[in-house]
Structure 1
Amino acid sequence: MKKLILLAAVSFTVMSCGNNKKDDGSTSISIDGSSTVYPVTEAMAEEFRNEDPKTDITIGVSGTGGGFKKFGRGESDIANASRPIKDDERAIAEENNISFVELEVAYDGLAVIVHPENDWVDCFTVEQLKMIWEPGAQGTITRWNQIDPAWPDEEIHLFGPGVASGTFDYFTEAIVGKSGSSRGDYTASEDDNVLVQGVSGDKYGLGFFGLAYFEENSNKLRLVGVDGGEGCVKPSIETVSNGSYAPLSRPLFVYVNSSSVKNNPKVIDFINFYLDEASSLLKDVGYVPLTPEEYKAQKEKFNTFVEKHQK
């Protein structure tokens, strides 16, 4: 598996998301958003650059929420997202006369992870995770033995994505029951590598993030199963694909700006390439591809969108 490095310094200046052709004949495509979707889109961009080296694809990592803010202001061609767009984010885009298409590109499971020396927990029920993460747990549920009396009388040290993360939104909705509903006394970061470092350096640490980041760091962390009511299941390509890893399996998305489709043909080429090649590249970066039929449906959806906005 490729070494995937998320850098906050993956930054760029976007002058416009329409015609981004440069003086040297090259073309730029700007992308921002989810740290979870970043490795997928970066893998696609790397392969696309090999075939079309004159297309400059820049990818920022500001979280799903941050990416939608830029996308809604017209500052990016494509938004990476680990959850669907919210009504308030959609409203911002509409205020700026931006229309878009939502495309599913992969499936991902959220990994619940602990330190390798944690030898007392192999599985959490959804109820136990809710007990730990719900808002009322702040300042109240602070020790492992409060979850299970057989577990150590030691502080739980929590690590998780920040509030701008689609992973945070998905986890809180699936576990707590309401998107964005969480205790606030945990170490938060939009950079999943910070969370990896936090849990891997703390015997009493507990965290969650996308499965691909566990796969990349499995030598430093231990994966814990989740019991959604049908018994304990750990996330894997198989359990995410067949839906048995519930409720922490989810689709991942890209959103494409209509003005970019109209004014920058390379955006069309890149998205078609993305949907054509995703199934063969995704497993290399730890994600689960859609079925061939699902990719075909997404491509038809995109091409219909292109035809509409090129008239």
Structure 2
Amino acid sequence: MSDFNTTNFINPSTFILLGIPGLESSYIWISIPFCTMYIIALVGNFTILFIVKTEKSLHEPMYYFLCMLAVTDLVLTTSNMPKTLSIFWFKSREINFNACLTQMYFIHCFSSLESGILVAMALDRYVAICHPLRHSAILKNPMVAKIGLAVVLRSCILALPYPFLARRWPYCRTNIIPHSYCAHIAVVNLACTDVRLSSYYGLFVLFSVIGVDVISIIVSYTQILRAIFRLPTKDARLKTFGTCGSHLCAISILYVPDFFSSLTQRFASNVPRHFLILFSNVYLLAPPVLHPIIYGMRTKQIRDRLFRLLTQNQN
């Protein structure tokens, strides 16, 4: 592998993913929680999709957006976790140059898509609470489809520059990526040229896309809280606000680690590299694992349907 350190090339045929440098002796132990979380994410999100598909009472905008979120989580976690586990278990570190850029695209595309879906879900909560009598008239199926399509197109288009910019840089020093997957910054930092354009674009997406989404959610919840405080009784306020609990949890587990991960990778030079890589992996795994648990536990219709499925299987 040392031959790769000083090879002269413009675009390498393969990259070498090191995994988590410094923790090689612990790969088996690290892989156990990672594999467990991946299986939970797969089972949980497929269960959400199955329940919504088979339960006609759940064919509503909120649950359509929840299905979009489940599909996004499945693609996002499958984009990186199988390769990461193959590094831990089989030392399968090589990844084709084009496959690396494809992985980069999928990770950024579906991370952005996840954020957009949370905005769509905030819109659904706003209409349901602030305009309850018009909810079914405003969010008809064609409108839900248009919102979903707009979110998907935005994410797909904004993620395109990541691999295109990474492809144009010359890689004449090394093709060894000190990471477990093809993270954007980890790849472009290998280039032997000024890659500030890639870094600036990453910050642009972080602050303009994620920032706009966060502002949109804040505006929605400002209106929601105003409507809740106008309700006549405390019980009515708590019950209405409780319908937003799952969505607020989903927001927290996505945006707080997202900003922390993006900013520390660029500016926290004193943070150990193995911690950053571990955190970035957990960040990609946590939302797909927690979303079905949160919505399964807090949404009565899903909880009841799951309980009926389990009791039927036992009988």
- Say which one has the larger Rg: 2
Higher-strand-fraction structure: 1
Task: State the TM-score, normalizing by the size of structure 1.
Answer: 0.25
Greater fraction of residues in helix: 2
Structure 2 length as normaliser, TM-score? 0.25
